[in-house]
Structure 1
């Protein structure tokens, strides 16, 4: 097959990473992979792994983007892919407008992946108007049925995001000097059990709940240390200052550390006693849950949205009800007693299975008669 994926840009983020992961797996399976975006820092890696990239400005939420419909249609006609796979709303609109003018008997099959719980309006409805929608979780699937049923051509196919088990697995060895260097950089982490909350610094990610939890736990567990891993976006630096002020006011600076954004997160997962996902609103998926589970580290999280789906399979004893501070505290204490428990990654959350399932959807769609 020849597959063309379309997205706004290739810089960073879950959608971008998923695009590269699938492109690599397509190449490994003997298919042809093409990606269309406005460019970005991940393009060299994409091309080094065997895919081709075409740069088109299909990322702007502007009427001027309609000028890209014709060049995009010409590119599709020239490359003649079997599959067009759109992953974001602006590229989805431009691709749809280009695709619908193509010969119905020979045009590619149009697939979309709904990566989020989009705002409910006609602009977002484009993600449900493809010939086949892929939902990244049951949470997203339910959302599509509840809000975009009228646009769906057929039931969405649920394909969970997957972890690269070559990168994340419990048998990975932490470099000999890694922990020593971390403890040199952050002396308060030495000789402590680490409790880790990964995620960007934003109000609904649960950092405030985590700070309250650490304050309570240190009175009973003197050997723990809380770690908030993740940076603030450029326009959210005030929230980082607010969180650090909260830590100072509670007098727990020696028990909780902000380590910023890290590229070595798998080692932080492996060295932590517990990992937390405390998002206060439903997320479409919980990548930190499955990454931690892939490393064998137990996770505690609220029973809402996509992260809860992953937890039910990988570490169900880590589920607590949302906004129940007492349950969060008690579950943490239970899991801190005795030896460290092990989480396990289910096959449905592996990158290999994600790619296999996606290719199965492509093959099924290609076999259907044009216009069906």
Structure 2
């Protein structure tokens, strides 16, 4: 097969990582992989893993981008791919407009992936235009069925995102050198019950709820220390200041650390006693919580979205009602007294995701 994936840029994020993972799987099985994007820091890795990259400004939300429709159609005719995979809304519109004018008897098969719970409108509906529509969780499939009822249920298939167990092995422990540096940087964590909230600092990720959870645990006599791992978007600095002020007003400056953006989140979760998801809006999937579960860390989370599906399979007692700070603090208190760990048999693996996605391509080509 020759497969073209199209997305805005290749910098960071779940869409980008998924595109690299499918490119890697295609190459490993002897297929041809092409990715179209505006470029980014992941291009070098993509190409080193055997995919080709074609740089086009398919990321711009502008009517001027419609000039690319003819460019893409010419490119599709030249490359003759078997499958075009749409991964984000702006490039999906451009690729679909190019594709629909091609000869239906000879044009590539069209696949789209709904990666998120987008705003419901005509613009977002483009992600349901694939001849096969991959949903990254049952939550996403339910969202599509509810908001776009005219989309045939037969087109929809759920392929959960997955983690590589060789990168996130159960019982993972950081290297000694990393541990020594961590202890030098955060000596106050010694002997503490460390609870970590990973995620970008933005209101819906629930940092304010997390602060209240830590306060409840401290009031209950638990020697708790909370870690908030992540950074604010440049446009969300006002909320970041609110987070810092809330920590100060709660008297928790010695009990909560704002760690910032880290490339060693796996190691930080590994030295934590529990990982928390306080997202007030449902996650489409929630890869970070799965990474924590994969290495054997207990996760307590609001019971909705893709994280609900993960906990259902791996740690049902980690689910608490959305917004119920008391229940979350109570669950962590219980785990402090008697530590819990998720199931080791994780069905959400990278290999499963790759195999199922390639099977979708092959099924369309056979049809």
Match of 2:168 in 1: 168
Match of 1:134 in 2: 134
Q: 106-115 vs 186-195, which deviates more?
A: 186-195
Match of 2:180 in 1: 180
CA distance in 2, matches of 1:344, 1:245: 38
Match of 1:114 in 2: 114
1:196–1:272 contact (8 Å) kept in structure 2: yes
For these two proteins, the number of residue pairs brought into alignment is: 367
Where structure 1 has 5 or more consecutive residues not aligned to the other structure, the ranges are none
Deviations 1:285-313 (A, max 9, x none): 11122100111000000111111111111
Q: 212-221 vs 16-25, which deviates more?
A: 212-221
Match of 1:98 in 2: 98
Match of 2:250 in 1: 250
Match of 1:15 in 2: 15
Shift of 1:241: 1.7
Which residues of 2 match residues 153-232 of structure 1 at below 5 A?
A: 154-232=154-232
TM-score (norm 2): 0.97
Shift of 1:354: 0.1
CA distance in 1, matches of 2:94, 2:346: 35
The alignment status of 1:49 with 2:49, answered yes or no, reads yes
CA distance in 2, matches of 1:31, 1:345: 33
- What is the aligned-residue RMSD (CA, Å)? 1.4
CA distance in 1, matches of 2:200, 2:206: 10
Shift of 1:97: 0.8
2:274–2:299 contact (8 Å) kept in structure 1: yes
Shift of 1:154: 3.2
User: Secondary structure of the equivalent of 2:219?
Assistant: coil
TM-score (norm 1): 0.95
Distance change >3 Å, CA 152–CA 64, structure 1 → 2: farther
Distance change >3 Å, CA 292–CA 333, structure 1 → 2: same
Deviations 1:241-264 (A, max 9, x none): 211111111111111101011101
Shift of 1:181: 1.2
Shift of 1:200: 0.4
Distance change >3 Å, CA 152–CA 7, structure 1 → 2: farther
1:168–1:291 contact (8 Å) kept in structure 2: yes
User: Secondary structure of the equivalent of 2:254?
Assistant: helix
Where structure 2 has 5 or more consecutive residues not aligned to the other structure, the ranges are none
CA distance in 1, matches of 2:318, 2:283: 17
CA distance in 2, matches of 1:289, 1:314: 11
